[in-house]
Amino acid sequence: MAASRAMTPPRRAMRRHLSPRQLLAALVAVGVLTATPARAQDDGPIKQHLPNGLRVVAQGNEHTATVVIAALVRITALHEPSGATGIRQLTQTVLASGQGCHDEMLAAAVRADGQVAPDYVELSIAAPAESLEDAIGLLRRLLFRPELSEEAVEMTRAGLVRSFAARGEIPVPLAVDRLYEALYPGIGSGDTAAGDPVEVDAITLDDIRSFHARHYLPNATVLGISGGIDAREAVALVEREMGRLLPGALPREAPLPSPGRPPGAEELEIGGNTSVYAMGGRAVALDSPVYPAMAAGVALLGSGMDCRLYRALRLERSLAYTIGAELTPSKTAPSGLVVVACDPEQLDEVARVVEGEIERAVEEPAGADELQRAKRYLIGKHALRRQRNREIAHYLAMFELLGGPQGYRRDAQLAGEIAAVDANAVMGAIRELFRPAWAVRLRACETGAN
């Protein structure tokens, strides 16, 4: 989901009143320079595993004047206590608000952002490259020594509850959430609305402090750094700032839940004029040898205007206006799904076509040309996300955390592995993903009820 950008004053007017350093700080503060195109240096990333268990992977980039540090902490959805679904999201959003550090963040032109996924929580810092040392120090404070207050918790809680309510009123998020609830009950889709509003409302400040103390540990943390910095210097600064943090015993995860209902379709109604059909299954982890073939199969079905579902639903029949597919890179709750939004009167036909195309993908090997197009689409996306510091830092950390023994190197290898998969491997991977399969039919009507 694309983040919104704040509007900036005309460039000429800003130059009249701000020095070059002030201009740079102002641009970073509103999130402009984090979009500066970035190309990795030929030397490649540098990794350091500190004695306290914290891992850092840094990539220098001489073509940008900014730096992004992405801190991923392995706190999964299975770490949330019973009756406190959403405590990860609540805690992480409070940390990203910068309580107790506002003046220092403003002075260094540092911007913080937080999010959650099924496998981790993430706190990222964007700053001018010259503020690298300040940014690392602020990240340490926000992540490991935060100032938590009742006021910050209440403000954050109110915003989260509003976001939960909004998702329940929008057809596509509602259908996707219900599908994930069928696949992995209690875990959810793992995005920014991951939580139960009733349970979030009951979480106290003491609950958050206790949760933070148990789970925010250096030996559960990976940092990815990308920007106009010297990678070795960045690693040395991290070691100096965070090397003395004490590790702790990693908490156990709860057992992975069984699916919330038997395979098949759940019928729902919602008010409005947009119906949705979503179909998916439990997938494989990012470090699985099957992952490249499964990713190619999902792209073959529902990614881009050359995919099978686009051709079948838009070009041949004009049945749908939104078609999408995704494969979640996860160890905790890997999943794959296709989602189609359509007019209410087209829902049954859309469901029939989607199910037919998945059946064909399971039973018949893909043609050489269409498989090649799907692989090119994936490899192109792989290259595009290497162009900005935000994505580079995030994926360095994510692959180091979830990439198995290969760690961050798995990212560089993945494009080649996708290019090498054949039609039979893709057919087998799609069969593994969609047999069995779960579905949600969200039917719009004048007076719908969830």
- Average pLDDT on 320-340 reads 93
Distance, CA of 277 to CA of 259 (rounded, Å) = 19
- Please provide the DSSP assignment of 85-121 as one string: TTHHHHHHHHHHTTTT-HHHHHHTT-EEEEEEETTEE
Instruction: Please tell me the predicted confidence (pLDDT) of residue 98.
Output: 92
Q: Does pLDDT of 2 surpass 50?
A: no
Mean per-residue pLDDT of the chain: 87
Token output for 254: 């709860």
| CA-closest candidate to residue 203, choices 75, 77, 85, 78 | 85
Q: What is the mean pLDDT of residues 373-382?
A: 91
Q: Where are the domains of the chain?
A: 22-242, 264-445
Q: Is 279 left (phi over 0), alpha (psi -120 to 50) or beta?
A: beta
The confidence score (pLDDT) of residue 169 equals 82
CA distances from 254 to 30, 77, 223, 282 (A): 40, 9, 25, 18
Q: In Å, how far from its chain's centre is CA 334?
A: 12
Provide the phi-psi class of 80: left if phi over 0, else alpha when psi is between -120 and 50, else beta: beta
Contact 303, 287 (CB under 8 A): no
10-55 pLDDT tens trace: 333 333 333 333 333 333 333 333 333 333 344 689 999 999 999 9
Sheet of 46-49, strands arranged across:
46-49, 55-60, 221-227, 66-73, 120-128, 111-117
Q: Does domain 264-445 have CATH number 3.40.50.2000?
A: no
Pair type for strands 221-227 and 55-60: parallel
Q: Do domains 22-242 and 264-445 have the same CATH topology?
A: yes
Rg, Å, the chain Cα set = 23
CATH class of the 22-242 domain in this structure: alpha beta
DSSP 388: B
3-state secondary structure of 297: helix
Instruction: Please state whether beta strands 120-128 and 66-73 pair in parallel, antiparallel, or not at all (unpaired).
Output: antiparallel
* Cα–Cα distance, 367 to 74 (Å, whole number): 40
Q: Is the pLDDT of residue 432 over 80?
A: yes
| Token pair in block for residue 386 | 């290497």
| CA 126 from centre of chain | 17
pLDDT tens track for 331-361 = 999 999 999 999 999 999 999 999 999 999 9
Give the pairing of strands 264-271 and 120-128.
Answer: unpaired
Give every CB contact of residue 211 below 8 A, 6+ residues apart in sequence: 81, 84, 87, 91
pLDDT-based confidence at residue 191 (cuts at 50, 70, 90): low
- pLDDT for position 226: 97
Q: Which residue has the tokens 């309580």?
A: 99
End-to-end Cα distance, the chain:
24
Asked whether 162 and 235 are in contact (CB, 8 A), the reply is: no
**What does the block give as tokens for 17?**
């009143």
**Measured distance CA(404)–CA(406) in Å, rounded:** 5
pTM across the whole model:
0.86
Query: Is residue 126 within 8 Å of residue 66, measured between CB atoms?
Result: yes
What's the Cα-to-Cα distance from 142 to each of 93, 110, 123, 127, 170, rounded to whole Å? 11, 12, 9, 15, 33
Place of tokens 């037919």: 356
Nearest to 387 by CA among 36, 11, 78, 7: 36
In whole angstroms, give the CA distance from residue 421 to residue 423.
7
Q: Provide the pLDDT for residue 60.
A: 95
pLDDT average, residue stretch 94-123: 93
CA distance 165 to 283: 28
The Cα 54–Cα 13 span in angstroms is 45
Does residue 306 surpass a pLDDT of 90?
no
pLDDT band at 307 (very low <50, low <70, confident <90, very high): very high
Interatomic CA distance for residues 88 and 355, integer angstroms: 36
